[in-house]
């Protein structure tokens, strides 16, 4: 638990990149370089895919003989606008998202003339998947954006009774099947290896990073705070419990995304400056994890 924090007047901050400083810059550079190397020097020349919109880019690049970086940018750009503006903290900062996508595409274009580092399919699947997964992890840790499939899954989730994870898996299975018809089933087998290595390396890189936060708020204007949270985030936060009466100080517990922490503090400064909050990082937004912490 991070401890209680008094909500009062504090200096304004200047944005996520400035706050994070050099660690975020280095993470950004490492991420885009690793993704570009994995795609351009390992996966694409060996006709391998690892899921996501990047797989679509590789297949289109193979069929049209156009550069991979061009498709990487054009295919992912529409997904930047799928999440409705102002829907809440699930949306990453627009500048970081656009910058990560644009720079990754640009570095991929720069690497296009360089010959592949290996023409051995197994080595390419292992090294390409490792570079792709680690690069994506570095980008995601600073709120960036590298692939549109997850964004599409969040949008489709509203219309079908499937979880985000199930939707992403179905989309990637479909892409791997299409790649099998296009590149051959032997390459599809190595693509499955690349997909698995990318997934595991992404999980390892994201270790210690939390996406959700359990927030316990103690204050005297909780009705107003709850109303402001609904106005700001809509349905993009989970209200868990409330104690006390409107006439006296009470407690309220909610689960928010990591990106919603600063907007929540701003709401409390404006609505209930005397409130205190406890924040606990969560690996998921599941209710059973909240019960375990009680």
The enclosing domain of 276 has a CATH number of 3.30.70.120
**pTM recorded for the entire structure:** 0.67
Closest CA to 67 of 103, 96, 32, 105: 105
Domain contains 171:
yes
Total structural domains in the chain? Answer: 2
Can you tell me whether residue 276 is helix, strand or coil? strand
**Non-local CB neighbours of 204 within 8 Å, separated by 6+ positions:** 133, 134, 137
Kindly state whether residues 191 and 88 are assigned to the same domain.
Answer: yes
Kindly state whether residues 179 and 93 are assigned to the same domain.
Answer: yes
Region 54-70 average pLDDT: 92
Banded pLDDT at 251 (limits 50, 70, 90): confident
Query: Looking at 186, 205, 224, which one is the last position of a domain?
Result: 205
Domain contains 92:
yes
Kindly state whether residues 58 and 187 are assigned to the same domain.
Answer: yes
For 146, the token pair is 């590298």
Closest CA to 72 of 114, 103, 118, 34: 103
Domain contains 4:
no
Domain contains 10:
no
Distance of CA 67 to the CA centre of its chain: 26
Domain contains 1:
no
Kindly state whether residues 188 and 218 are assigned to the same domain.
Answer: no
Domain contains 132:
yes
Beta bridge partners of 212: 257, 282
**Which residue has better confidence, 107 or 165?**
107
Q: How far apart are CA 30 and CA 41, in angstroms?
A: 16
For 232, the token pair is 């700001």
pLDDT the model gives residue 261: 81
List, for residues 12-47, the tens digit of each pLDDT value: 333 444 445 677 788 888 999 999 999 999 999 999
Domain contains 8:
no
CB-based contact 243:251 (threshold 8 Å):
yes
CB-based contact 179:55 (threshold 8 Å):
yes
Domain contains 239:
yes
pLDDT the model gives residue 70: 92
Mean pLDDT across the chain: 77
Query: Looking at 160, 187, 205, which one is the last position of a domain?
Result: 205
The percentage of the chain sitting over the pLDDT mark of 90, rounded to a whole number, equals 32
**Structural domain of residue 259, as residue ranges?**
210-293
Beta bridge partners of 216: 253, 278
Q: How far apart are CA 293 and CA 84, in angstroms?
A: 32
Kindly state whether residues 191 and 218 are assigned to the same domain.
Answer: no
DSSP annotation string for 240-253: EEEES-TTS-EEEE
Kindly state whether residues 259 and 276 are assigned to the same domain.
Answer: yes
CB-based contact 93:16 (threshold 8 Å):
yes
Banded pLDDT at 6 (limits 50, 70, 90): very low
**Edge to edge, what strands does the sheet with 212-219 contain?**
4-6, 276-282, 212-219, 250-257, 238-243
Query: Looking at 173, 205, 237, which one is the last position of a domain?
Result: 205
Kindly state whether residues 49 and 163 are assigned to the same domain.
Answer: yes
Kindly state whether residues 158 and 102 are assigned to the same domain.
Answer: yes
List, for residues 150-193, the tens digit of each pLDDT value: 767 767 766 777 766 777 888 889 999 999 999 999 999 999 99
pLDDT the model gives residue 292: 32
List, for residues 68-106, the tens digit of each pLDDT value: 999 998 888 877 765 544 333 444 456 777 788 889 999
Kindly state whether residues 181 and 89 are assigned to the same domain.
Answer: yes
pLDDT the model gives residue 252: 81
List, for residues 193-247, the tens digit of each pLDDT value: 999 999 889 888 877 666 677 888 888 778 888 888 888 777 666 676 667 665 5
Instruction: Return the H-helix or E-strand segment holding 219.
Output: strand 212-219
Kindly state whether residues 174 and 223 are assigned to the same domain.
Answer: no
CB atoms within 10 A of CB 212: 21
Kindly state whether residues 219 and 246 are assigned to the same domain.
Answer: yes
CB atoms within 10 A of CB 188: 19
CB-based contact 216:225 (threshold 8 Å):
no
Q: How far apart are CA 129 and CA 200, in angstroms?
A: 9
pLDDT the model gives residue 76: 83
Kindly state whether residues 61 and 151 are assigned to the same domain.
Answer: yes
């Amino acid at each position: 638990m991070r401890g209680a924090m008094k909500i009062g007047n504090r200096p304004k901050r200047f944005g996520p990149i400035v706050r994070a400083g050099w660690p975020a810059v280095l993470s950004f550079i490492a991420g885009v370089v690793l993704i570009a190397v994995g795609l351009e020097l390992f996966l694409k020349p060996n006709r391998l895919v690892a899921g996501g919109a990047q797989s679509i880019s590789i297949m289109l690049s193979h069929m049209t003989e156009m550069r991979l970086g061009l498709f990487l940018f054009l295919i992912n750009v529409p997904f930047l606008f799928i999440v409705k503006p102002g829907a809440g903290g699930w949306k990453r900062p627009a500048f970081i998202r656009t910058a990560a996508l644009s720079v990754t595409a640009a570095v991929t274009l720069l690497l296009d003339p360089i010959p592949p580092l290996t023409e051995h399919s197994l080595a390419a699947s292992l090294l390409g998947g490792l570079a792709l997964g680690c690069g994506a992890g570095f980008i995601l840790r600073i709120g960036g954006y590298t692939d549109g499939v997850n964004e599409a899954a969040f949008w489709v989730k509203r219309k079908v009774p499937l979880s985000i994870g199930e939707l992403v898996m179905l989309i990637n299975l479909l892409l791997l099947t299409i790649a099998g018809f296009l590149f051959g089933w032997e390459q599809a087998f190595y693509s499955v290896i690349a997909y698995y290595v990318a997934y595991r390396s992404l999980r390892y890189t994201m270790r210690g990073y939390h996406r959700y936060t359990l927030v316990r708020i103690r204050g005297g204007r909780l009705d107003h705070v709850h109303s402001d949270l609904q106005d700001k985030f809509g349905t993009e936060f989970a209200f868990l419990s409330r104690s006390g009466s409107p006439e006296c100080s009470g407690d309220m517990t909610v689960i928010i995304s990591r990106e919603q922490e600063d907007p929540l503090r701003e709401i409390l400064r404006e609505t209930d400056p005397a409130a205190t909050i406890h924040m606990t990082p969560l690996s998921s937004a599941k209710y059973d994890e909240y019960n375990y912490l009680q």
